[in-house]
């Protein structure tokens, strides 16, 4: 019962986020994320699958509309367990969610449409970017820390005034053919030019 109630609260939080994305400001989003309804791992986990409602991958990434959304997360990150719990009942843009863990970059599921690396920067992030550049699958790469987005991650979470916020590298996403909703861009801090949006 406790888990079910907790899952309900996370979904309620995300529903509010989605409403805010249509009507309010980034500051309002930050205020909502700072409430006690969900800890940082749950907030990030929920955002990771809900983001599928705000981005479009290039044609061919999914076989059809019922193809699952595969999210790869580093095994040692607390977001992994939170995401697996959320994925049991949730869908993303109408798609079932499959969560795959990895330890080393080579372990990342080649079918992953979203990859969350956690606090990965510098050489470690470069290694993942290099790996992805040689794969056919287009993945939306998410990390932690503002520097990660500056270094090539498509989106990264960061803390400001004890609130979870996010930065989007629109150049990295656009170069991969990923189209980002203007609703999401209005909530984000941007790295690069706002060129690709729907």
The pLDDT score that the predictor gives to residue 192 is 66
Q: 87-146, pLDDT tens digit by residue?
A: 888 888 888 899 999 988 888 888 899 999 988 778 888 888 888 888 888 889 999 988
- Do 171 and 153 contact (CB within 8 A), yes or no? no
**Is 197 part of any domain?**
no
Write the CB contacts of 12 (distance below 8 Å, at least 6 apart in sequence). 37
Which structural domain, as residue segments, surrounds residue 78?
2-191
Domain CATH code at residue 14? 3.40.50.2300
Is the pLDDT at 197 greater than 60? The verdict is no
Number of compact structural domains in the chain: 1
How far apart are alpha carbons 40 and 44 in whole angstroms? 6
Q: Each residue of 25-74: pLDDT tens digit?
A: 344 344 444 443 347 888 888 888 888 889 889 888 888 888 898 999 98
The pTM score is 0.77
């Amino acid at each position: 019962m406790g888990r079910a109630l907790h899952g309900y609260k996370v979904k309620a939080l995300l529903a509010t986020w989605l409403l805010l994305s249509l009507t309010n400001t980034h500051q309002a989003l930050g205020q909502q994320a700072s409430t006690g309804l969900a800890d940082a791992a749950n907030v990030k986990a929920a955002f990771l699958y809900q983001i599928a409602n705000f981005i479009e991958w290039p044609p061919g990434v999914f076989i059809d509309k019922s193809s699952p959304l595969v999210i790869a997360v580093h095994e040692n990150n607390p977001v992994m367990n939170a995401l697996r719990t959320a994925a049991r009942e949730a869908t993303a843009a109408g798609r079932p969610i499959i969560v795959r863990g990895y330890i080393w970059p080579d372990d990342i599921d080649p079918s992953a449409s979203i990859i969350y690396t956690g606090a990965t920067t510098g050489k470690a992030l470069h290694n993942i970017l290099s790996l992805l550049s040689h794969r056919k699958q287009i993945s939306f790469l998410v990390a932690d820390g503002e520097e990660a987005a500056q270094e090539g991650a498509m989106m990264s979470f960061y803390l400001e005034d004890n609130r979870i916020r996010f930065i989007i590298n629109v150049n990295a996403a656009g170069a991969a053919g990923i189209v980002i909703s203007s609703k999401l861009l209005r909530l984000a801090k941007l790295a690069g030019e706002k060129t690709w949006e729907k």
